[in-house]
């Protein structure tokens, strides 16, 4: 089995960090690739059907996919410039970074991609019309395929991030690293991950940015160019990737379990201590204890203790209830 071997120094362990917000470009690229195979049907078949039905009915979406499928293939390589390093405030900033790539790098990465289609040759040439077209295709695909699920994506990411931060606080960075994917092995100072090709990544003091992705499915992915800021993306915990149906507006959860328990369940999405629950719900400590006990006994939250501090985190069952209740 091929592996990606990531070589850490002590400095790198201190500089390893989890992305705190959605990475729009990684989600777009992963979503484009999901349309090119049938795996992950439990999570994504309904999403695929909707996007394909819209593409069949809407010529403009067909043109977007005609541009994007060749440049983000479901393959061992796609150009790094599609997923610029760093965290961006919004999608427009990320798209600007994509089309602002230096021309020599653009030509080099497009040459590695190969392909002789007219859209690919035009993008490789770096002309303004071709790059504007690529920007429009990426943004248009996001609005059709990602944005309608954005609330679900964010909820799943928050639940996944809360779990990993809890692991970091209780078990340390090594537990976070080995929890990235099944088969991950920590052999200090090297993290070994099952990968599509044998490869080594030397961090050399630069640290590592970890990016959990909703539309990622199969394996971790690193940037192809080891000279770029080290980034590793990987699938969310499968239990948090819930494609929930649309709901009528209203606080259905509050009507079902009561407003205080509903508030506690929502706060537990990001992890919340008992003291913080008391402050943010405005109820008495005994009342918070009563409600967290009921939610925990029902399997909706999990409680972890560190000395005298209790922290509460939503479970997959609680997250599913939250989504299905709108």
Whole-number pLDDT of residue 205 = 97
Q: How far is residue 97's CA from residue 268's CA, in Å, rounded to a whole number?
A: 35
pLDDT surpasses 60 at 247? no
Tokens linked to 205? 């003091």
pLDDT surpasses 70 at 249? no
* Closest to 133 (Cα-Cα) out of 84, 60, 78: 60
Per-chain mean pLDDT for the chain:
88
* Mean per-residue pLDDT, 274-296: 91
154-182: pLDDT as tens digits = 888 877 887 787 788 778 889 999 999 99
Kindly report the CATH number that applies to the domain delimited by 252-324. 1.10.10.10
CA 186, chain centre distance (Å):
23
Whole-number pLDDT of residue 98 = 97
Whole-number pLDDT of residue 320 = 66
Report the predicted TM-score, pTM, of the whole model to 2 decimal places.
Answer: 0.76
Q: How far is residue 309's CA from residue 264's CA, in Å, rounded to a whole number?
A: 17
Q: Residue 248 — pLDDT band, cuts 50, 70, 90? A: very low
Q: How far is residue 43's CA from residue 46's CA, in Å, rounded to a whole number?
A: 8
Q: Where are the domains of the chain?
A: 3-20+152-240, 24-149, 252-324
17-30: pLDDT as tens digits = 999 789 999 999 99
pLDDT: is 153 or 246 the higher one?
153
| Pair type for strands 190-194 and 185-187 | antiparallel
Tell me how crowded residue 314 is: count the other CB atoms within 10 A of its CB: 29
Q: Residue 252 — pLDDT band, cuts 50, 70, 90? A: low
pLDDT surpasses 50 at 244? no
């Amino acid at each position: 089995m091929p592996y990606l071997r990531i070589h850490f120094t002590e400095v790198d362990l201190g500089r390893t960090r989890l992305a705190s917000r959605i990475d729009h470009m990684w989600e777009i690229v992963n979503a484009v690739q999901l349309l090119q195979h049938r795996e992950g049907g439990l999570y994504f078949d309904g999403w695929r059907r909707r996007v394909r039905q819209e593409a069949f009915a809407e010529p403009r979406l067909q043109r977007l996919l005609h541009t994007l499928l060749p440049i983000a293939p479901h393959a061992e390589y796609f150009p790094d410039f599609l997923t610029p390093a760093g965290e961006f405030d919004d999608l427009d900033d990320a798209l600007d970074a994509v089309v602002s790539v230096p021309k020599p790098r653009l030509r080099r990465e497009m040459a590695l991609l190969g392909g002789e289609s007219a859209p690919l040759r035009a993008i490789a040439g770096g002309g303004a019309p071709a790059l504007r077209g690529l920007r429009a295709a990426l943004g248009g695909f996001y609005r059709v395929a990602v944005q309608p699920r954005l609330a679900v994506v964010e909820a799943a990411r928050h639940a996944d991030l809360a779990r990993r931060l809890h692991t970091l606080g209780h078990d340390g960075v090594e537990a976070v690293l080995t929890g990235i994917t099944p088969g991950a092995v920590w052999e200090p100072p090297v993290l070994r991950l099952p990968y599509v090709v044998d490869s080594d990544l030397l961090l050399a003091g630069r640290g590592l940015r970890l990016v959990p992705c909703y539309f990622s499915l199969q394996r971790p992915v690193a940037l192809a160019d080891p000279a770029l800021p080290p980034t590793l993306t990987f699938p969310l915990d499968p239990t948090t990737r819930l494609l929930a149906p649309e709901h009528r507006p209203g606080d259905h959860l509050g009507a079902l379990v009561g407003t205080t328990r509903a508030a506690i369940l929502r706060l537990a999405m990001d992890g919340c201590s008992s003291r913080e629950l008391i402050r943010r719900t405005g109820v008495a400590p005994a009342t918070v204890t009563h409600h967290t006990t009921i939610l925990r006994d029902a399997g909706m939250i999990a409680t972890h203790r560190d000395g005298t501090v209790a922290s509460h985190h939503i479970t997959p069952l609680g997250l599913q209830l939250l989504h299905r209740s709108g």
